[in-house]
């Protein structure tokens, strides 16, 4: 499976990740995370495969996160509630998300990309 690259074109971190993928000749499908956010089922699968806590999928530095007071809401939320929120608005999701169906990276750290996608 080609990589799926969930991104927001105006995001600087996403552009850095895209550049890394291009420089390493990785083929990928670009998916605009706001226009086509991952479904609840896709998010659940990505969270499980990433072995990260669902909280790590939130864009904690985003305007929408602050406006909705997500920091306080997340304290008592279970994974299903978090997935519900994430699926409801692509701007709440930390980006980019890259997956090949087995591996998942959230955000862009070059070392993580080297390990997962090289």
- 78, pLDDT greater than 70: yes
What residue has token string 């605009």? 32
- The pLDDT tens digits for 39-60 are 999 999 999 999 999 999 999 9
Are the C-beta atoms of residues 7 and 33 closer than 8 Å to each other? yes
Q: In what order do the strands lie in the sheet with 97-99?
A: 28-32, 3-7, 97-99, 104-106
Is this model's pTM higher than 0.75 or not?
yes
pLDDT at 2: 87
Structural fold of domain 3-117: Glutaredoxin (3.40.30)
């Amino acid at each position: 499976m080609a990589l799926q690259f969930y991104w927001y074109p105006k995001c600087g971190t996403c552009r850095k990740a895209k550049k890394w993928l291009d420089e390493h000749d990785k083929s990928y499908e670009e998916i605009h995370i706001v226009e086509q956010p991952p479904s609840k089922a896709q998010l659940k699968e990505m969270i499980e495969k990433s072995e990260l806590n669902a909280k790590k999928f939130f864009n904690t530095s985003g305007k929408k996160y602050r406006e909705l007071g997500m920091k306080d809401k997340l304290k008592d939320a279970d994974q299903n509630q978090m997935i519900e929120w994430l699926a409801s608005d692509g701007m709440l999701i930390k980006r980019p998300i890259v997956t090949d169906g087995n591996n998942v990276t959230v955000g862009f750290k070059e070392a993580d990309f080297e390990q997962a996608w090289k």
